[in-house]
């Protein structure tokens, strides 16, 4: 999974930064891997407990026969010492004068003669104990005549030596030399085969060195169970993703249909209202239209009352479109124009008729037309 391409990664980048996002996603995968390992181990342990399997050890003697030791008294009475020449089994000989044990469903440990192996001692720094497998695999073609893919090899427990160093004994042999033994034991029904050897000389140690641990196809191992769990988890995640995607698509589709239906209903209602207005030409529609076309009379009167002086009286008021005609009496008609134009609501104040002085000579009759802003 590459970082920077998923919605989760982009969200983490915006809120936590690049390094934090990558670290968080890595922790998620590590936790998931550990959970898969734990679950697989638990399942294998339960199955192994429910289906017990016995172990058998076959030790090769100098004559080429195998001493069979069974740990189950019911299957192998006493300390059974039988001889199984696997060479006859490899040759598929149906008859044999030796006792052939029942190996079906068992774990078989083959201990081969040390003469079938090549032993080499490898001296390493003590800090290299954690990387012994990689070191030996990288040097197996130098230590033996075979390459890493053609050889079976194992090593003993590291032994500490002076100067902070360790020494391990490497046992190796060709895969082709061991394959017939594995095939023979598998044909007898063994569920797993482990091949090891014990060095002859004391300088290589006396503990056994395992070179192969082979599981048959019928055996249940942790890796297979882990792979099955990972596959099931992947299927569940994909199914959940598909379900969420389908639910989101259906929700968007239903929302789009609802919006379209609402729009069509609104268009239909508007068409119906337009039809009624066109055919009826109702008084209410005319009044509504006039309301929006004509200026606000109350606001105009209130503003006019503010600008006219106290010695001015209005006797007649007319509205014509955007204009207002004011007729009345005042002491100084010429001063009214300047007072009216001081208001932001009025513009273009002019006399639309001659100003007439009153008979008593105290006031003047004025006729002023004002445009409403």
Task: Please report which confidence band the pLDDT of residue 233 belongs to, taking 50, 70 and 90 as the band edges.
Answer: confident
Out of 220, 235, 270, pick the residue that ends a domain: 220
* Token pair for 85: 């020449």
Give the range of the structural domain holding residue 183, as residue numbers without chain letter.
52-220
Residues 189 and 315 in one domain: no
Domains of the chain: total: 3
Out of 170, 185, 220, pick the residue that ends a domain: 220
3-state secondary structure of 149: coil
Least confident segment among 66-75, 108-117, 164-173, 282-291:
66-75
Cα 294 from chain centroid (whole Å): 64
What residue has token string 């004559």? 63
CATH number at residue 344: 3.30.1360
Residue 231 included in any domain: no
170: CB partners within 8 A, 6+ apart: 119, 120, 121, 122, 136, 140, 143, 153, 154, 155
The pLDDT score that the predictor gives to residue 171 is 92
pTM, rounded to two decimals:
0.43
Residues 7 and 75 in one domain: no
Q: Is the dihedral of CA 270, 276, 279, 285 positive or negative?
A: negative
Mean pLDDT, rounded, of the chain? 77
CATH number at residue 66: 3.30.420
53 exposure class (CB count in 10 Å sphere: 0-12, 13-18, 19+):
middle
Least confident segment among 65-69, 116-120, 167-171, 347-351:
65-69
Q: Is the pLDDT of residue 274 over 80?
A: no
Residues 105 and 208 in one domain: yes
The pLDDT score that the predictor gives to residue 195 is 92
Residues 56 and 19 in one domain: no
Task: Please report which confidence band the pLDDT of residue 80 belongs to, taking 50, 70 and 90 as the band edges.
Answer: very low
The pLDDT score that the predictor gives to residue 172 is 93
Residue 288 included in any domain: no
Q: Is the pLDDT of residue 98 over 80?
A: no
Q: 361 near 368, Cβ under 8 Å?
A: no
3-state secondary structure of 347: strand
277: CB partners within 8 A, 6+ apart: 285
Rounded to an integer, the average pLDDT of 48-58 is 69
The pLDDT score that the predictor gives to residue 99 is 47
């Amino acid at each position: 999974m590459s970082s920077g391409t998923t919605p989760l990664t982009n969200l983490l980048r915006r809120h936590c930064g690049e390094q934090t996002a990558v670290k968080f996603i890595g922790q998620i995968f590590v936790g998931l891997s550990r959970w898969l390992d734990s679950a697989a181990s638990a399942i294998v342990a339960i199955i192994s407990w429910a289906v017990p399997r016995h172990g058998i050890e076959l030790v090769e003697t100098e004559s080429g026969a195998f001493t069979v030791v069974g740990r189950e008294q019911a299957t192998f009475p006493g300390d059974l010492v039988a001889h199984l020449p696997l060479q006859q089994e490899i040759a598929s000989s149906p008859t044999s004068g030796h006792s052939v044990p029942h190996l079906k469903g068992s774990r078989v440990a083959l201990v081969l003669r040390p003469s079938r192996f090549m032993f080499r001692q490898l001296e390493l720094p003590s800090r290299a104990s954690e990387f012994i497998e990689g070191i030996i695999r990288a040097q197996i073609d130098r230590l033996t005549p075979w390459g890493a893919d053609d050889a079976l090899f194992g090593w003993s427990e590291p032994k500490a030596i002076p100067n902070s160093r360790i020494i391990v004994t490497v046992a190796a042999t060709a895969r082709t030399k061991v394959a017939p033994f594995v095939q023979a034991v598998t044909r007898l029904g063994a569920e797993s085969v482990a091949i090891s050897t014990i060095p002859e000389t004391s300088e290589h140690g006396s503990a056994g060195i395992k070179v192969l641990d082979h599981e048959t196809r019928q055996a249940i191992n942790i890796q297979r169970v882990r792979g099955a769990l990972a596959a099931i988890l992947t299927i569940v995640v994909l199914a959940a993703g598909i379900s969420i995607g389908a639910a989101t698509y259906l929700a968007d589709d239903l929302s789009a249909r609802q919006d379209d239906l609402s729009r069509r209903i609104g268009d239909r209602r508007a068409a119906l209202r337009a039809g009624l207005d066109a055919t009826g030409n109702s008084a209410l529609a005319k009044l509504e239209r006039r309301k929006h076309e004509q200026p606000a009379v109350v606001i105009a009167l209130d503003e006019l009352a503010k600008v006219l002086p106290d010695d001015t009286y209005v006797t007649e008021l007319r509205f014509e479109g955007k204009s207002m005609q004011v007729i009345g009496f005042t002491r100084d008609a010429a001063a009214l124009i300047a007072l009216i134009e001081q208001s932001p609501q009025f513009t273009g104040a002019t006399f639309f008729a001659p100003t007439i002085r009153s008979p008593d000579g105290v006031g003047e009759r004025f006729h002023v037309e004002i445009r409403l802003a």
